[in-house]
């Protein structure tokens, strides 16, 4: 049985969204419907629906009489994502630390082990998925079941900046150590320490990402307001 049009559109959306977030499709690059149709074997209708969904999310710009392009990274949007993430994850990690859950602790330890392996292999592009898995696991442990969905929606441009920062020498090693400190505080049931470790992690990571803006011309959207130093 053929897939329903909505399912086809969702598949293309997820494929394109991941390619954009992973920077496989560079900011400012053209999106050509014919090429996507040829690559996926699908008709233009689900492709257009997928592109429209990406446009609604701010990942794609559809310019009449010109074309469709991957949006440049909005520093303002990334900053908003950081602020939302910090506010929600500080509360999430505190509650996670107050919840004694051996199964969750084992899951967090396993994710840290995966991070160590990724860093050892220098597989930078795969780190963010594991990073998100850790933060998502902390959110589940907190009992705030919808919080990671809200965070994921807010951090689209932040994720693209994370991809830019991943190859910086020593960055992922530092981030992994920060994650380790968060996990240890959660496992020991120390909410104050867990909150502090999470704040340090998110704030220092954003500082590293913000430092890339001046060095990567053409990738970032030109905006009148700058990220506060």
Domain count, the chain: 2
- Mean pLDDT, the chain, rounded, equals 92
What pTM, to 2 d.p., does this model score?
Answer: 0.87
Q: What is the CATH number of the domain that holds 55?
A: 1.10.10.10
In whole angstroms, give the CA distance from residue 117 to residue 121.
Answer: 6
Instruction: For residues 60 and 90, state if they share a domain.
Output: no
Which residue, 176, 212, 151, is CA-closest to 23?
A: 212
What is the pLDDT at residue 5? 74
Q: Which of 47, 70, 93 is the last residue of a domain?
A: 70
| Together in a domain, 13 and 86 | no
Strand partners, 30: 69
Two structure tokens written together for 219: 């990738």
159 located within any domain: yes
| Residue-range definition of the domain harbouring residue 39 | 5-70
CATH number of the domain where residue 134 is located: 1.20.120.530
Q: What is the pLDDT of residues 131-173, one digit of tens each?
A: 999 999 999 999 998 999 999 999 999 999 999 999 999 999 9
d(CA 4, CA 85): 35
């Amino acid at each position: 049985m053929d897939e329903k049009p909505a399912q086809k559109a969702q598949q293309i959306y997820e494929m394109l969204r991941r390619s954009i977030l992973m920077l496989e499709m560079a900011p400012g690059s053209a999106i050509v419907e014919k090429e996507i149709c040829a690559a996926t074997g699908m008709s233009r209708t689900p492709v257009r629906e997928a592109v429209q969904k990406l446009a609604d999310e701010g990942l794609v710009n559809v310019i009449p009489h010109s074309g469709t392009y991957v949006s440049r990274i909005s520093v303002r949007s990334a900053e908003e994502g950081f602020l939302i993430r910090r506010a929600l994850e500080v509360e999430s990690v505190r509650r996670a630390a107050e919840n004694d859950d051996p199964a969750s602790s084992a899951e967090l330890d396993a994710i840290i082990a995966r991070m160590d392996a990724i860093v050892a292999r220098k597989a930078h592009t795969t780190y963010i998925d594991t990073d998100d898995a850790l933060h998502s696991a902390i959110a589940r442990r907190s009992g705030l079941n919808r919080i990671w969905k809200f965070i994921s929606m807010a951090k689209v441009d932040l994720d693209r900046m994370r991809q830019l920062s991943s190859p910086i020498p020593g960055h992922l090693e530092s981030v992994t150590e920060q994650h380790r400190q968060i996990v240890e505080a959660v496992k020991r049931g120390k909410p104050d320490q867990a909150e502090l470790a999470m704040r340090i992690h998110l704030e220092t990571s954003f500082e590293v990402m913000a430092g890339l803006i001046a060095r990567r011309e053409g990738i970032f959207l030109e905006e009148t307001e700058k990220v506060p130093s």
